[in-house]
Structure 1
Amino acid sequence: MDGRQWLDGYQHRLADLTSRADRARAAIAGVEGTAASADGAVTVTVVPGGALRRLVLAERSEGLSRVQLAALVVETAARARAEADRLVAEAVAPLLEA
């Protein structure tokens, strides 16, 4: 293989990698994870990485103490983040193969 062939192959691999990265970014752009507490008092939506997008406190949350409510929000947010992480992995898995 001469230098020109090597360079052509390298440029082809680089273009493929760039294309895969662009598709991966597009695949995860709208991903959110949502989870609700078992009692329905709290619903949390996060983006990948865990940043809070939406927090909904149902009427039944009013019967909880502040400590209970805070713990429920943290627990539910962790489950929402796990869901977001799962969706990201699912979205990019086909792009990481080969």
Structure 2
Amino acid sequence: MDGRQWLDGYQHRLADLTSRADRARVVLAGVEGTAASADGAVTVTVAPGGALRRLELAERSAELTRVQLAALVVETAARAQAEVDRLVAEAVAPLLEA
């Protein structure tokens, strides 16, 4: 392989990687993870990194003690974070392909 062929191949690989990175960036911009508690009392939406985007408390949440409600919010947020982690992994997977 001569220098020109190598450079052409390198530029092609770089263009492909740039294209995949652009697609991942678009997907990541809109990624959120949402989870609801089993009883429907709490719904939590988080951004990548765990930032809380939305917290919805249904009527059912008024029946819980503060300790129960706090635990349910934390548990539900953790499940929402697991969902956003899964979505992020899916978005960046094409960047890791050979």
% identical aligned pairs: 90
Equivalent pairs counted in the alignment come to: 98
Counterpart in the other structure of 1:57: 57
Distance, in Å, in 2 between the alignment partners of 1:54 and 1:10 is 44
Deviation at 1:4, TM superposition (A): 2.1
Superimposed CA distance per residue, residues 63-87 of structure 1 (whole angstroms, 9 cap, x where no aligned partner): 2222111111000001111112222
TM-score between both structures, scaled by the size of structure 2: 0.85
1:13 to 2:10 alignment: no
CA offsets, 1:16-68, max 9 Å, x none?
A: 11111111111222121111111111110112222111000112212222211
TM-score, length-normalised on structure 1? 0.85
Say yes or no: does 1:87 pair with 2:87: yes
In the alignment, which residue of structure 1 is the partner of 2:37? 37
Q: Quote the offset at 1:97 in angstroms.
A: 3.5
Unaligned runs of 5+ in 1: none
* Counterpart-to-counterpart distance in 2, 1:93 and 1:35: 23
Any gaps of 5 or more consecutive residues in structure 2? none
